[in-house]
Chain A
Amino acid sequence: MTTADGAVLGATKIVDGGSSALRWELVIMGDGFRRGELGRFEAETRRVVEAVLRTPPYDELRAAINVYRVDVASTDSGATDPVDCAGGSGAVKRTYFDATFCGDRRNRRLLVVDEATAQTVAAEKVPGWDAAMVIVNSTVYGGSGGKVAVLSLAPEAVDLALHEFGHSAFQLADEYESLSGCGRPGDADHAVHPPGEPPEPNVTVNTDRATLKWRQLVAPTTPLPTSRNANCRQCDQQDSPQPPGTVGLYEGADCYHCGAYRPEFDCKMRTLPAPYCAVCRRRVRQTLTPLLPPVPPVAATAWGPRRLDLFVSGGGQACHHKWFDGSAWGPSLDGAWQGQGGILLGPPEAVSGGPRRLDVFAVGSDHALYHKAFGNGGWAPSLTGWRRLGGVVQGQPEAVSWGPGRVDVFVVGGHRALYHRWSDDGRWQPASGFERLGGVAISQPHAVTWGPGRLDLFVVGGDRALYHRSFDDGGWQPSFKRLGGELSGEPAVVSWGSGRLDVFAVGPGQVLLHKFWDGAGWQPPQTGWEPLGGALVGSPAAVSWEPGRLDVFHVGRDRAVYHKWFDGSAWKPSTDGWRRLGGQAVGAVSAVSWEPGRLDVFHVGGDRAVYHKWFDGSAWGPSLDGAWRRLGGSAEF
């Protein structure tokens, strides 16, 4: 039984969250499937993947995940099942990964594979793999963990895989309180956890509320410890003293009866059917949230009433364009997009400085910044050509225009500092390259202008606070000013007129935060922020159609788009309330307004097509909380 007992046939990306370099990648391989059974492997893989992606918090993070299916044909069907273990059939199967029950010659449920071979195949097919799984063609319940999660076709085995991902991909500890099983021989020996704080985020020996690893999730009224085991020679027998979901300190964890604590009474890292506890969900989010697409996949701009231009990175990573001219979508509604060439690393950026003027920027495969412009009825340098503006860019560019003929573009470059170039009537400045604006950004740059000669630049700094630097009277402020916050994702900035700035960002608990400049100072003052509710996945989008009006959008944990607005006197539908606009977005949302009363909102759906919803001043089209209009395309990000 070796790799001679089969062959690796190929890999297929079955969940496409985007570029391999920027996503968490799960590889699923099969064992004990003969060539004629690979259809079943495909179906079983789909079932497992759907179950994983339905499980919180993976359900809200699917845009950060790629899944690959690796088809492996084995000589025999099934798995070896030695009679050494009670119930073993004695079957000996020749399979590629040597799947066998009774992996320790004592426990039939211990279904193991050759982990070295599985890791080698995973690396050959998906060099950047983060987690690997082998599905074994047997309906007998079984599985194992380690470097590779192994599971049989038994439906309950999916929970086993989710438990193992907790270990192998997110470094979570076991939250059960026995090594050999409660009440089993040897159980009494695992009484008290040794001293020293375990490194894993979900178990602790520390009972100090002030320094506890998950103190932010513990309510002040929850007693600590929350439960104690009265007899350390056995597992705790009591029921939970708190309602389900209460985060505290429950004694019994990390395979010890006493001295170690878990965050909730139950968790998937303790018993398999349970959901992940809040601390484990937080760890998964902490790992995967930075891999969510940082900027909206659709760049949308309007040069005037009844005009829209959309740009995405489409098939072959080329730039693709679609436009609305007031009467119809070009080149067509739900069909082709106009190819505009290039090999883009991430979504393009688009801005309009006036009627019939577009400037589009993108980062090329050499990490340099590229530009093309539409004016005088045509594209320059050509429809599919791009002009190289140089640099080595990290992430995506941000562009603004304060009027015809003027465009400013910002990028994050070396040492995560901010850099700037601008064009006056087609002449790029500085002529020699980029102007260095300094700072250390962990976000993309975000810029806005309230009129000629004024620029405001925002980034999230290394301490996760927001930083701001403005350009006025022909010069930049001397340095970035810290505006506070403990932010994740990308902020959104908008100006409804001279002397007004509104900034939106994602704060702790994935709540939307707001701060504004009223011409005299920041409100709330200094480093304060106003919470506006929500449960954001990814980053917000903000737009203003006239002074006093703000519209903000985000994608929620159910992947629907949500909306709230400020009408000049109050937030609607309420300060922390949001109106659901439906949809199934896999990236952040984009919004644009071409005139007062008009909103156009775009997202990319699970089929990678672009979807559109609009507000015409009286109602949402095609409907409020229902269908979106499909604009086709195949966006990559």
Chain B
Amino acid sequence: MGPSTGPAPRGAVRLTFRYEGDQVWLVSRRRVDKLLPPDEEAQQAAERQGFFAEVRSADGRVLDRRLLHDLVPRDREVFADPEGSPVRVPVERPAGIFSLLVPELEESDHVALVERGPYGQAAADALDVGDRRVAANELIRVPLRGEEHPGAAP
């Protein structure tokens, strides 16, 4: 019995998405020769609000979790003063593309983009202070097995 009985390092997958408002579509899925260390902060932040990419096994176990900052931005930073703080201006129609890298693990089955707890004043009004039972909203689920997906939005 030797090392060859285990999995080879399998690299990563680059997923590219298009978003418009609250809708998110997969544009492409491509394998990349890249080894991704785990995101330690995301493991600790699992119960916090925000956006996460979760690589899961076929039975739903989370194998890897990555923190995603401002996945679908509703505003943009303006840097009016080089010596001061930026400000944010609203985006009239949130739309664009984003891409992310997730590790290709032995048991990887799919990746889910998850928003835990609405992140804003309206949602805060509906939550009690200190309530950590944030709701998880799965924005999209993408299979990680099979042929690469070269692109095509619905």
A residues engaging B (CB < 8 A)? 20-22, 103-104, 106-107, 109-110, 112, 115-116, 119, 123, 127-128, 130, 141-147, 154, 156-157, 159-160, 163-164, 167-168, 171-174, 176, 178-182, 184, 194-201, 213, 255, 270-273, 283, 286-287, 290-291, 367-368, 390-394, 411-415, 417, 419, 432-434, 436
Contact = CB atoms under 8 A, between A and B. Distances in A.
A345 to B, nearest CB: 9
A208 B33 CA distance: 42
Given A110-B76, A196-B124, A392-B8, A411 B3 contact: yes
A20 B97 contact: no
A200 B50 CA distance: 8
B87 A197 contact: no
Nearest to A128: B34
25 contacts: A22-B35, A110-B78, A123-B99, A127-B32, A128-B32, A128-B33, A143-B79, A147-B96, A147-B97, A160-B82, A174-B88, A178-B85, A180-B87, A194-B119, A196-B131, A197-B132, A199-B50, A200-B50, A201-B45, A272-B79, A272-B82, A273-B82, A392-B6, A413-B3, A417-B3
Contact of A272 (B51, B86, B91): B86
A84 B125 CA distance: 37
| Main SS class of interface, A | loop
B70 interface: yes
A200 B69 contact: yes
Given A128-B32, A156-B82, A368-B4, 5 more contacts: A144-B76, A198-B50, A199-B50, A286-B41, A390-B3
B101 interface: yes
Contacts of A21: 11, 33-35
Contacts of B101: 128, 130
B88 A180 contact: yes
Contact of A174 (B1, B7, B86): B86
Nearest to A105: B92
Interface string B66-106: 01111001011111101111111101100011110100000
B46 to A, nearest CB: 9
Contacts of B85: 176, 178, 181-182, 270-272
Contacts of A434: 1-3
B69 A173 contact: yes
B37 A290 contact: yes
Contacts of A163: 77, 79, 86
A176 B78 CA distance: 13
A290 B36 CA distance: 9
B134 interface: yes
Contacts of A201: 41, 45
A417 B134 CA distance: 37
Contacts of A145: 76-77
Nearest to B83: A273
A107 B78 contact: yes
A167 B82 CA distance: 18
Nearest to A413: B3
A419 to B, nearest CB: 5
A167 B86 CA distance: 13
Contacts of B116: 199
B127 interface: yes
Contact of B79 (A142, A200, A367): A142
A107 B80 contact: yes
B40 interface: yes
Given A194-B121, A195-B129, A201-B41, A394 B96 contact: no
Contacts of B80: 107, 109, 181
B87 A184 contact: yes
Interface in B108-150: 116-117, 119-121, 123-125, 127-132, 134
Interface string B1-18: 111111111011010101
B29 to A, nearest CB: 12
Nearest to A142: B79
Nearest to B73: A146
Contacts of B57: none
A392 B4 contact: yes
A171 B68 contact: yes
Contact of A198 (B16, B49, B73, B125): B49
A398 to B, nearest CB: 14
Q: Which 7 A-B pairs have the closest CB atoms?
A: A414-B6, A413-B3, A194-B124, A199-B50, A433-B2, A434-B2, A290-B37
B65 to A, nearest CB: 10
B2 A419 contact: yes
Contacts of B7: 392, 414-415
B2 A200 contact: no
A176 B80 CA distance: 14
B4 A106 contact: no
Given A273-B82, A392-B8, A199 B45 contact: yes
Contacts of A200: 50, 67, 69
Nearest to B47: A197
Contacts of B88: 174, 179-180, 255
A329 B49 CA distance: 60
Given A196-B134, A198-B49, A413-B6, A171 B84 contact: no
A423 B108 CA distance: 37
B44 to A, nearest CB: 8
